Chain A
Amino acid sequence: MVLTADDVKKIAYLARLGIDHQDIESYARDLSNMLDLMKQMGETDTGGVLPMAHPMDQIQRLRVDDVTETNNRDNFQKIAPLVEDGLYLVPKVIE
């Protein structure tokens, strides 16, 4: 499997990830090499094998429906790049 520069650009946009123009080729090469490495997975028979998402076969614990958090906006917004009137500001959202 070989990824092209165009593939890399598409993936990068999906991930909203700016990448330097001169790096695109090297990403394409690295990713292609990684995909090569993955070929051996395809050669392994996994028929009837259950996918494993977690190391433990545990089930989700449930939390009692209590309000435990209080307003901590000032603290949280101290580390925010841009806020006004308690709102996080971003370039205009167009729907």
Chain B
Amino acid sequence: MHNKSIKEIAKGLRCGDFSSVELTQLFLSRIKQHAQLNCYVTVTEELALKAARQADAKIAQGDTSLLTGIPIAQKDIFCTQGVKTSCGSKMLDNFIAPYNATVVEKLNAAGAVMLGKLNMDEFAMGSSNETSYYGPVKNPWHTNSVPGGSSGGSSAAVAARLSVCATGTDTGGSIRQPAAHCGITGLKPTYGRVSRFGMIAYASSLDQGGPMARSAEDTAILLQAMSGFDPKDSTSLDLPVPDYSAALDKDIKGLKIGLPKEFFGDGLNNDVALVIEKAIEEYKKLGAELKEVSMPNLKLAIPAYYVIAPAECSANLSRFDGVRFGHRCDNPQDLADLYTRSRGEGFGKEVKRRILMGTYALSAGYYDAYYLKAQKIRRLISDDFKKALSEVDVIMGPVAPTTAFGLGEKIDNPIEMYLSDIYTIAINLAGLPAMSLPIGFSEGKPVGLQIIGDYFAEDRLLNIAHQYQMVSDWHRQIPKGFE
């Protein structure tokens, strides 16, 4: 039951094979059984069962929403009314959100059953899920390895069948990289496609919520429910949302795939490169044409990102001051003490590192050299993509230079950790949609393929991923012990 796709479950619920309550109970017990993975910060058992009962009633009355009664889980960055929303931080350990994020509202309205809130890197800052206040998440494929981050709870939960699908957010690769490391499918939509309202901000001009699931087909269904214009978000796109499922079956003969030489150079693990080559071969068999493209400014993506994201985060995280919500230190001596200590105690080391970096980059005398310069580099990188995407339909390449690295392996070397985001970060700077899909293994750990499309081309990406999944079964692999 827990290995079924969304469509299969929807059918089963309507045929009376099982109820949403039964399904929800199954997932709740699996979550307990595999608590050692540390995927969930909060399990909302009672709320889930209540929602499941309502879903069963709705289905009995003929409800046709595909997500009705489907157990899902929310990354703990999305505000959930009446439920703790921690963002993986001690700062918000006591924060019961007084409202729902738009994404949560939409999924609730679609009838999905929320099982709980998923672990993540603190404030989405991290690539390994090790910066979480609630401890690291373990990769179900290899429990001594990280699941990736920041949406590591989401990817591990979906891979381990502790939820049918999950939400994630992606600021520099936080959906795609953990999806790749856990062997699932994840999509970062075009900036503005999914509302950011109620999604706790890390770097506002880069953050984008998106779906994480086992297949492109499930991903399409989840994205459909999450997307759309939101008047509460000024950066939300006021454009119609296409039918993502309808496009899945299109033939991809003649598809022009761009392969940036910069994506396949030094730093890419040989085994990973081989797995990717194989997948691209598969696409050739499906009728695709390959073309080398160039992204001359790609190497500048990491420095530009690590100016822009920390700068935005340094301001976004100023509201956590111990006055209106969140952690407050004991017995503050004066105002400065209240701020300094509440924030000092509430934030972890990686968050502090980025706040310091951003504060410095924006401070008097450095703004032009860092922030303004990074914004110009951002334009150069975006232009590289524009040029490449004018020559080809999509760009393909690795998601990460290696498979999931070991727990504790990089946590003390932040720069090395940052460099591992080289293939994903540039896409956020440009605001393009991109996805990761499982295409094989290297030494027992999953490898993901990244597909990058033009603005609003989510339907095309899903179609391309689905066509591959029709002729492969990497996305159906289940980690040992989680069958």
Contact = CB atoms under 8 A, between A and B. Distances in A.
A23 B345 CA distance: 14
Interface stretch (B12-20, B33-41, B351-359, B389-397): B351-359
A91 B332 contact: yes
A14 interface: yes
Majority DSSP secondary structure for residues of B touching A? helix
Given A18-B343, A56-B431, A60-B234, A31 B369 contact: no
B303 interface: yes
A51 interface: yes
Query: Most chain-A CB neighbours within 10 Å: which of B332, B356, B429?
Result: B356
Contacts, number: 166
Contacts of A14: 359, 363
Interface residues of B, number: 73
A9 B249 CA distance: 58
Interface stretch (B70-78, B252-260, B373-381, B473-481): B373-381
A55 B359 contact: no
A52 B306 CA distance: 15
B325 A49 contact: no
A19 interface: yes
B240 to A, nearest CB: 16
Nearest to B363: A14
Interface stretch (B48-56, B217-225, B294-302, B402-410): B294-302
A18 B348 CA distance: 11
B463 to A, nearest CB: 23
Contact of A11 (B307, B335, B360): B360
Interface in A7-59: 7-8, 11-20, 23, 27, 30-31, 33-34, 37-42, 44, 46, 49-56, 58
A46 B415 contact: no
Most B-side CB within 10 Å, residue of A8, A30, A55, A91: A55
A92 B338 CA distance: 11
Contacts of B231: 61, 63
Given A18-B343, A56-B431, A90 B356 contact: no
Contact of B307 (A7, A16, A38): A38
Contacts of B95: 79
B337 A91 contact: yes
Interface residues of A, number: 52
Contacts of B332: 91
B370 interface: yes
B112 interface: no
A27 to B, nearest CB: 6
A59 to B, nearest CB: 10
Nearest to B96: A79
Nearest to A82: B328
Contacts of A81: 322-323, 325-326, 328
Interface of A: 3, 7-8, 11-20, 23, 27, 30-31, 33-34, 37-42, 44, 46, 49-56, 58, 60-61, 63, 72, 75-76, 78-82, 88, 90-93
